[in-house]
Amino acid sequence: MAEVLTIRIDAKSKKRLEKLAKATARTKSYLAAQAVRNYLDLNEWQIAEIKKGIEEADRGEFATDAEVKAFFTKWKRGAR
């Protein structure tokens, strides 16, 4: 069941939301709710990964120098 939540946003963001709602044939409420869901999904994932990393560090599980170097070498090649 949907709940009602009132938020305050600046005029520029409201205009952008209205424009996007019109362009996508969606309501402002739908887009705002979707934005909140996306924000929650991302931040919940990020916090879980941070906690996982802290737990690994507490157990002494760290990447070796070779693993770090290999990661950045591969990343550098992909960035080009």
**Domain map (residue ranges) of the chain:** 29-79
Amino acid at site 50? I
pLDDT score for 21: 98
Residue 32: closest CA among 46, 49, 16: 16
Non-local (6+) Cβ contacts of 20 within 8 A are: 26, 31
Q: Give pLDDT tens digits for 24-80.
A: 999 999 999 999 999 999 999 999 999 999 999 999 999 999 999 999 999 998 876
For the cut 90, the answer to whether the pLDDT of residue 1 exceeds it is no
pTM of the model: 0.73
The burial class, CB within 10 Å (0-12 / 13-18 / 19+), for 33 is middle
Instruction: Report residue 41 as tokens.
Output: 């999904």
pLDDT score for 79: 72
Non-local (6+) Cβ contacts of 30 within 8 A are: 21
